[in-house]
Amino acid sequence: MKMKKSMWILLFLGIFLASSMPVLAAGNPKIGYFDIPLVLQQSQWGKRSNEEFKRQGEKVKAEVDTKAQAYKTAKEEFDRKKDVLDEKTRAKKLKELQDMQMEGEKLLSESNAKMNKLSNELSAPLIDKILEIVKKIGREDKFDYIFERERAGLVFANDKEDLTKRIIQELDRSPHK
């Protein structure tokens, strides 16, 4: 596994260096980077998106918890009474419990899908705006490359080339949808 990962890293570096040769030959390339999780955490738009996601998540969780509690109560009641129930009633109650469990599992699955969709709906316009800002900075300040810290796998980078705060400031000044 490590060998395969190392090969991919070497391949990526080789491609990067090969594609960078014209820029490197022309002089020192201007390279910047930014930290997208930090932009999402610290920008006003990101904070509002996080708050909305949490608010919706709490509603969904409450609904799931209500179903789970109803199942738990019904199961406890069944467990207390099952020995005194006749076979037909016991089978009927057991079937009801199984149906409740399946409904709960379905609700949980639907809730997870709903939360994933909400996450995408909240983050997509935000990510698009961040990338728009990054491209604008790149053009205006004549950067040769701007990397996203995590995706680029940066282990070390000079703080003077960190564009994160500038991106947050520009994002906070921009109109939000």
154 to each of 34, 112, 150, 162, how far by Cα in Å? 10, 32, 7, 12
Structure tokens, 169: 């400031």
pLDDT of residue 28: 86
Structure tokens, 61: 């969780």
What does the alpha-carbon distance between residue 28 and residue 144 come to, in Å, rounded to a whole number? 9
In a 3-state reduction of DSSP, which class is residue 27? coil
Residue 3 reports pLDDT greater than 90: no
Q: How confident is the model at residue 148 (pLDDT cuts 50, 70, 90)?
A: very high
pLDDT (tens digit per residue) in 84-119: 889 999 899 999 999 999 999 999 999 999 999 999
Range 137-163 average pLDDT: 90
pLDDT of residue 156: 86
Measured in residues, the chain has a length of 177
Question: What is this structure's pTM?
Answer: 0.69
Which of 4-13, 56-65, 83-92 bottoms out in mean pLDDT, i.e. has the lowest? 4-13
Q: Which contacts qualify for 52-58: CB closer than 8 Å, 24 or more apart?
A: 52/122, 53/115, 53/118, 53/119, 53/122, 56/115, 56/118, 57/115
